[in-house]
Structure 1
Amino acid sequence: MTPHPAALGTPHELDLGTGTVRYFENGPTQGPVVVFVHGLLVNADLWRDVVPDAVAAGLHTFAVDWPLGSHSIPMPHADLTPPGVADLIADLLERLDLDDVTIVANDTGGAITQVLMTRRPERIGRVVLASCDAFERFFPPTFAPLPRLAHVPGFLALLTQAVRIKAVQGLPIAFGWVAKRDIPPETVRSYLAPSRHDRAIRKDLTRFLKGVNKKHTLAAAEKLPAFDKPVLLAWATEDKLFPVSLAERLADALQNASLVLIDDSYTFIPEDKPAELAAHIIEFVTRVGA
């Protein structure tokens, strides 16, 4: 397994009752708390170039390996449906006694965070949604077949082996439409090795994929108007999966939302434009008060 970058902070493991997650803590303990939520088949490494700027600005960061296929600790007893993963986030906030938290989410993590916002919002102070699933786009069309294919025996083992090939990594079904720039090889290994080498991790991934359905984001969308805390929508203008119109719909649905556009990036803004995303997070947390 490729080690996580030291920039993420000090590694910890936390028992959430139904399973254990690994997280990385950094920054001043009295600073405003930021918890990062990544998407499918990536892990805390997604935030490796965002965390240092956030910490330098005085934020207290928690980058977590959520059980979405690139985690290293299997969670065979956890509910890994989207609402179940949202509850894991809420459980982590509760176990660590974190309040007035800024949740920063990208890609699939944004869909899960919308469920969290409408399911267990008590410890959330504000939210940053960076180019993510919403409404009927969970998953977007390019990845929509995955929940059905997850029912095919051996499919995920074949897929994770195939994505080892660099030419395959550039395809839309892999990283080609989510990252505009090449992801460093060591980071790709960090993302793909757990599900490729560990059958238990693939089982977790399979359970999550089988539970993905737009009914979860559509149900959350009906309740989003009741969420009155500040939300920043940081959206990639060139996103091939989640058009800016999706962000505009979210802004209309929310009571207290603002939208900033980020050029020269696809969905993985933390990979393509980490410094710009970090600057928006810092400004947002400072502006709305933490």
Structure 2
Amino acid sequence: MPEIELTAGTLAYEDTGGPGPVVVLLHGLVHDATVWRKVTARLAADHRVLAPTLPYGSHRTPMKPDVPLSPDTVVELIAEFLDRLGLTDVTLVESDCGRAQSVAVRHPERLARLVLISCEAFDNYPPGAPGKMIALACRTPGGVALMARVLGLKPLRRLPVGIGALTKRPVPDEIVDGWLRPLRTDPAVRHDFRRYNLAVRREELLQAAEGLRKFDRPALVVWAVDDLMMPREHGRRLAELLPQGRLVEIEDSRTLVSEDQPERLVEALRTFIARMPDTGTPGTA
């Protein structure tokens, strides 16, 4: 994968290149760009798809130790990534984490559209049993290393405190191994993960939600009906507060819709990206 040197450190990213609308895909904690592999493969024929691996624990190159690492840092990192690559009229898509909401509020100039997929919102932090486990691990000496070892045990991967809470269907072991390897093997990555999570401001997403009321560009909220971590009502609330918000609910999926229902997710993305901007009232697509 290509890499780019940014203020906080080096980001690796996938870039399909080619013509077509630019789509930037953002993942959640303890995932990397491979969480989008099924979506990227289906969009690449007629979209330029970029998927950076953010410093969420599955990154291979640690961030600069002298630069603070927090959700606010990541928001600026995403904005700098878009700026340095000269990406404009971007459809910014995020699953699981909620940083894209703050990007849309603070840096709307590069975005043509916003897509939020079953993500942290409002006061839902840490979300679900996995989120609470991560928060506890980061507060406990040696907790992150222990968590990574436990999640690395294949018989335990479907437990509701691990990957089992995120997907209805098993994620291939080689993909999960890739997600967990940096946390298991690199103390500097574990340090990044810990300092990111300890720097979370609980009010960040509440502030972002208020800011989204002024985001005047097309926005799509995609929510998994069977999500165990992100309350279903949060999807509707996000769609209603966005001036051009639309809601699509996807059945038979948990948080990682890109894993459980990639075909339906891509269909929703294609329809949304192809639609001309409108100024209609928020509703359900």
TM-score, structure 1 normalization: 0.91
Question: Does the C-alpha gap of structure 1 residues 31 and 138 become closer, same or farther in structure 2, counting only changes over 3 Å?
Answer: same
Give the unaligned 5+ runs of structure 2: 278-285
Q: 2:10 aligns with which of 9, 20, 39?
A: 20
- Asked if residue 193 in structure 1 is aligned to residue 170 in structure 2, the reply is no
Counterpart in 2 of 1:4?
none
Write the mapping of 1:1-290 to structure 2, written as runs, cut at 5 A: 11-28=1-18, 30-56=19-45, 58-75=46-63, 76-108=65-97, 111-142=98-129, 143-144=131-132, 146-288=134-276
Q: Secondary structure at the match of 1:235?
A: strand
Deviation at residue 88 of structure 1 after TM alignment: 0.4
Counterpart amino acid of 2:4? L
Shift of 1:27: 4.0
- Aligned residue pairs, count: 275
Mapped contact 2:7–2:77 kept (Cα < 8 A): no
How far off is 1:14 after superposition? 0.2
What's the CA shift for 1:67? 0.5
Per-residue deviation at 1:168? 2.2
Checking the alignment, whether the CA contact within 8 Å between 1:131 and 1:239 is kept in structure 2 is: yes
SS at match of 1:146: helix
* Moved segments of 4+, more than 3 Å: none
Unpaired segments ≥5 residues, structure 1: 1-10
Give SS of 1:288's match: coil
Q: CA deviation at 1:288?
A: 3.1
On the 8 A contact 2:133/2:161 being kept in 1, the answer is: no
Q: Deviations over 1:197-238 (max 9, x none)?
A: 111110110011112242110111121101111111111111
CA–CA distance in structure 2, aligned partners of residues 79 and 221 of structure 1: 24
RMSD (Å), alpha carbons:
1.3
Asked if 1 retains the 8 angstrom alpha-carbon contact of 2:22 and 2:90, the reply is: yes
Shift in Å at residue 117 of structure 1? 1.1
Contact in 2 for aligned 1:106/1:268 (Cα 8 Å)? yes
SS of alignment partner, residue 234 of structure 2 = helix
Name the SS for the 1:150 alignment partner.
Answer: helix
TM-score normalized by the length of structure 2 = 0.93
Distance 1:117 1:271 in 2: 25
Distance 1:18 1:234 in 2: 30
Identity of matched residues, %: 39
1:92-145 superposed Cα distances (whole Å, 9 cap, x missing partner): 00000000100110001xx11111111222101101111111001022142235
User: For 1:69 and 1:287, how far apart are their aligned partners in 2?
Assistant: 35
